[in-house]
Structure 1
Amino acid sequence: MPIQLEHANITVADAKATAQQLCQLFDWTVRWEGASLDDGYSVHVGSKDSYLALYSPKGVTTGQATRYVHAAGLNHVGLIVDDLDAMEARVKAAGYEPHSHADYEPGRRFYFDGPGGVEYELVRYD
């Protein structure tokens, strides 16, 4: 069996709110939620095969690291979609601004800064 990514764990200020927005945007479901590490709270949101573990620490988070310059930092989450144009319309309708559109071999993509301050790349392979 090939190795497959099951989940990524991301710290966000409000795991419940971020999960709710991702469910609306991507038609995902909450797989699990509850108390977690150091009195924090986690919500696992995604599909039956993979998910994002959204973690909110107890108390206030301390800002956001600049993308693409911190070792081991999260730059973006890439997601494959069936209809890139429809997803772009959905992203805009949710109040997010798509950017960095590109056509490349073998597909097309765009990015947006989404729920929880996380950047997402949506890609459609031809």
Structure 2
Amino acid sequence: MPAQLEHANFTVSDPAATAAWMQDVFGWHIRWEGDAMAGGHTKHVGTEDRYVALYNPGRTAEAKASSYHTLGGLNHVAVVVEDIDATEKAVQAQGFVPENHADYEPGQRFYFHDADGIEYEVVQYD
């Protein structure tokens, strides 16, 4: 079996708020939450097998410029969904703006940025 991605860890301004919209948009659930390194707090939100760790250092963190121009930057994270139209409506209901729609092999996709400027790609395979 090839290796699988188990989780990714993002620094966010408000782990509770980010987890809440992820639960609404992607249907995920809180797997764990608690104190984290350097006096911070983390929430793990996702499925039974995969999740995103949402970390806040407990102090104001400074946002970087575009990650596409930062070595080691996170450019975007992609999430596969079963109903891209319903997911796009859920994204809009959270106040995020879907953009850059595309339909090419092997499926449809769009992108959006959350309140912390993290870019998400939503994909539905044909």
TM band (smaller chain) = over 0.9
The CA distance in 2 between the partners of 1:64 and 1:24, in whole Å, is 27
Offset, 1:106: 1.2
Aligned to 1:24: 24
Offset, 1:115: 4.5
2:47 matches 1:37? no
**Length, aligned pairs only:** 126
Quick one: which amino acid aligns to residue 89 of structure 2?
A
Determine if contact 2:113/2:119 at 8 Å carries over to the other structure: yes
The CA distance in 1 between the partners of 2:33 and 2:65, in whole Å, is 25
Q: Which runs of structure 1 show a deviation greater than 4 angstroms over 4 or more consecutive aligned residues?
A: none
Counting aligned pairs with the same residue, the percent is 51
The CA distance in 2 between the partners of 1:28 and 1:116, in whole Å, is 19
Aligned to 1:14: 14
The CA distance in 2 between the partners of 1:10 and 1:101, in whole Å, is 25
Structure 2 residue runs without a partner (length 5+) = none
Determine if contact 1:12/1:117 at 8 Å carries over to the other structure: no
| 1:2-57, Cα deviation, whole Å (9 max, x unpaired) | 21100000101111221122112211100000000111111100001100001100
Change (3 A) 1:42 1:64: same
TM-score of the superposition, structure 1-length normalised? 0.94
Aligned to 1:98: 98
